[in-house]
Amino acid sequence: MPVNLYNSLTRKVGTLTPRTEGTVHMFVCGPTVFDFIHVGNARTFTIFDVIAKWLRYRGHEVTYLQNITDIDDKIIRRAAEQGREPLEYAREFEQHYRDDMQSLGNTAVSQYPRATDHIEQVKAQVKTLIAKGHAYLIDGDGWYYDLATFPDYGKLSGRTGLQADDAVSRIDDSEKKRNTGDFALWKLSKPGEPSWDDPELGAGRPGWHIEDTAITEHYFGPQYDLHGGAMDLKFPHHEAEIAQQEAASGLVPFVRYWMHAGFLQIDQKRMGKSMGNMLSVREALAKWSPETIRFFLLSGHYRAPLDFSESALDAAHAAIQRITELLTKIQTLPPSEKDDSALVQIIAETRHAVEDAMDNDFNTAAAFGAVFALVSAANKAVTEQRIGTESGAALRAFFAFLSEQFGIIATGGASLPETVQSLVNERQLAREQKDFATADQLRDQLAQLGYVVDDTSYGPLVKKKVQS
């Protein structure tokens, strides 16, 4: 089936047409491993995890690379502060990153190539740019890309100047640059810094942008299908990649499809280490389940900003709880003699709705809306004892599909005691019938049993009272 997506380069939605039919070469900018990643980082990586899995579901053979920046000013500085060797320090935080991704269920990446494992490829590309007249040396500093030699710079973002939310690298801050936007390709190392010798370039290390194009050219060649990353990387990082690779190879376009994920925000400010408002993935996982975090991160359209709050995560938890409770009922209750053929049709229609939403620029928000319409219909069928063998099997198959594609199905069944769950269900029914007096009485009964009920947009969230 065709998949349509928004291409940041053309600024249009169009059908994904890979360079080789049925094969997608996909690259997403990975982390600089100097610290634990935060939930804002995780939004980007979770979005592209789902995108890669969906493309595979739709029959594409996807090779998904995500680089590891394991040499950088920040890594060198952090390691020095702790009296540690930079590459050893980077290996530790690379493992932390990969552990966090595994904990979140981000499992679609085919390979994590490191910058330091591709130094020879970096050197070769820098030398090509020098030979073609696109690079110059600043004595005592390093080799820089000369933007005056690449008139197409800015065609991805529509601009050539920095803005407040752009991701920048400190290794590009030489006062001797020919042009304001020129960036480092090969940075000459200072005493005590990690370096790689080269008789032509001098002892140094890669600039921030060059590792990505050196890596993708090595694995995919000078042109490939899909490049993703967070919105702040569009300029200057992705513009620099285009300038490097298209100048080096002479082939256009470097990448057919560019995709950019919107920011995770707190009080309308982007979550980030530099903003001082970050919540690490590890801190989030200590409070919420991986399924809850994934549901929250995928609950809005990937290109739009997403607002982070405790209440938003609680609502996501309530959503996962509703699905888990429904699955527990289906798996534990005996099939009813009366089977609802109309429900089987609703399940099929819901799957088509999810597929249509995902095929139309990976609209997870619309997909989840269809899912919860089905959850409501299925819960009503359970109450009315209309879940027979066929509809029960169809529901289990649908939620298995949902789990595989989105990773939002909690395992282990519902955690509430049967008596408590029965009161919750009775209270929800009373609310739907606008019998709020009965609903309040049932809330009081639940409180006497030690449970608090919060009503969210996805249904009731039931939590054990914290003992003071």
Q: Are residues 22 and 97 in the same domain?
A: yes
Could you give the maximum distance between any two Cα atoms of the chain, in Å?
A: 84
Segment 422-445 mean pLDDT: 86
Q: Is the pLDDT reported for residue 224 higher than 70? A: yes
Which of 10-19, 25-34, 365-374, 425-434 is predicted least confidently? 425-434
Segment 329-333 mean pLDDT: 83
| Count of structural domains within the chain | 2
As a whole number of angstroms, the distance between CA 186 and CA 51 comes to 33
Q: How many CA atoms lie within 13 A of 61 on its CB side?
A: 5
Q: Are residues 99 and 236 in the same domain?
A: yes
Reading across the β-sheet that carries 184-188, which strands appear in turn?
135-138, 142-145, 184-188, 204-206
Q: Are residues 63 and 158 in the same domain?
A: yes
Sorted by sequence, the CB contacts under 8 Å of residue 228 that are 6+ apart come out as 26, 27, 28, 29, 44, 47, 48, 51, 258, 259, 260, 261
> Which token pair is 103?
């904990």
The pLDDT confidence band at residue 446, using thresholds 50, 70 and 90, is confident
User: Is there a domain that residue 468 lies in?
Assistant: no
Instruction: Say which CATH number the domain at 9 has.
Output: 3.40.50.620
Q: Is the pLDDT reported for residue 424 higher than 90? A: no
Per-residue model confidence as pLDDT tens digits over 181-190: 999 999 999 9
User: Is there a domain that residue 121 lies in?
Assistant: yes
Q: Is the pLDDT reported for residue 215 higher than 80? A: yes
Which of 29-43, 126-140, 342-356, 422-436 is predicted least confidently? 422-436
Q: Are residues 246 and 103 in the same domain?
A: yes
User: Is there a domain that residue 195 lies in?
Assistant: no
The pLDDT confidence band at residue 331, using thresholds 50, 70 and 90, is confident
User: Is there a domain that residue 171 lies in?
Assistant: no
Q: Is the pLDDT reported for residue 416 higher than 80? A: no
As a whole number of angstroms, the distance between CA 112 and CA 65 comes to 6
The pLDDT confidence band at residue 412, using thresholds 50, 70 and 90, is low
pLDDT at 170: 66
Q: Which residues of 15-37 are buried (b: 16+ CB within 10 A; e: fewer)?
A: ebebeeeeebbbbbbbbbbbbbb
User: Is there a domain that residue 202 lies in?
Assistant: no
End position of a domain, from candidates 252, 282, 312: 282
Q: Are residues 9 and 97 in the same domain?
A: yes
Sorted by sequence, the CB contacts under 8 Å of residue 375 that are 6+ apart come out as 322, 323, 326
Q: Check: CB of residue 3 under 8 Å from CB of residue 54.
A: yes
Amino acid at position 145, single letter: Y
Sorted by sequence, the CB contacts under 8 Å of residue 463 that are 6+ apart come out as 451, 452, 454
The pLDDT confidence band at residue 468, using thresholds 50, 70 and 90, is very low
Q: Are residues 58 and 117 in the same domain?
A: yes
Closest C-alpha to 40, from 283, 294, 280, 298: 280
Q: Is the pLDDT reported for residue 259 higher than 90? A: yes
Q: Are residues 46 and 120 in the same domain?
A: yes
User: Is there a domain that residue 40 lies in?
Assistant: yes
Q: Is the pLDDT reported for residue 71 higher than 80? A: yes
Q: Are residues 256 and 342 in the same domain?
A: no
267 phi and psi, to 5 degrees? 55, 45
Q: Are residues 221 and 96 in the same domain?
A: yes
User: Is there a domain that residue 308 lies in?
Assistant: no
Q: Is the pLDDT reported for residue 230 higher than 60? A: yes
Q: What is the pTM of this model?
A: 0.90
Q: How many CA atoms lie within 13 A of 342 on its CB side?
A: 6
End position of a domain, from candidates 239, 256, 282: 282
Q: Is the pLDDT reported for residue 105 higher than 80? A: yes
Can you give the length of the chain in residues? 468
Residue listed under structure tokens 């597929």:
355
Q: What kind and span of H or E run contains 195?
A: none
Q: Is the pLDDT reported for residue 413 higher than 60? A: no
pLDDT at 287: 93
Q: Is the pLDDT reported for residue 140 higher than 50? A: yes
pLDDT at 212: 98
- Tell me the β-bridge partners of 142: 138, 187
The pLDDT confidence band at residue 273, using thresholds 50, 70 and 90, is low
pLDDT at 415: 61
Q: Is the pLDDT reported for residue 303 higher than 80? A: yes
Q: Are residues 224 and 360 in the same domain?
A: no
pLDDT at 269: 80
Q: Are residues 158 and 272 in the same domain?
A: yes
Structural domain boundaries, residue 49: 4-134+145-166+207-282
Q: What kind and span of H or E run contains 269?
A: strand 269-270
Which of 140-154, 192-206, 422-436 is predicted least confidently? 422-436
Q: Is the pLDDT reported for residue 457 higher than 70? A: no
End position of a domain, from candidates 395, 415, 435: 415
As a whole number of angstroms, the distance between CA 366 and CA 362 comes to 9
User: Is there a domain that residue 60 lies in?
Assistant: yes
In angstroms, how far is CA 77 from the centroid of its own chain?
27
pLDDT at 453: 82
Residue listed under structure tokens 């709020």:
436
Q: Are residues 396 and 261 in the same domain?
A: no
Closest C-alpha to 355, from 399, 400, 402, 296: 402
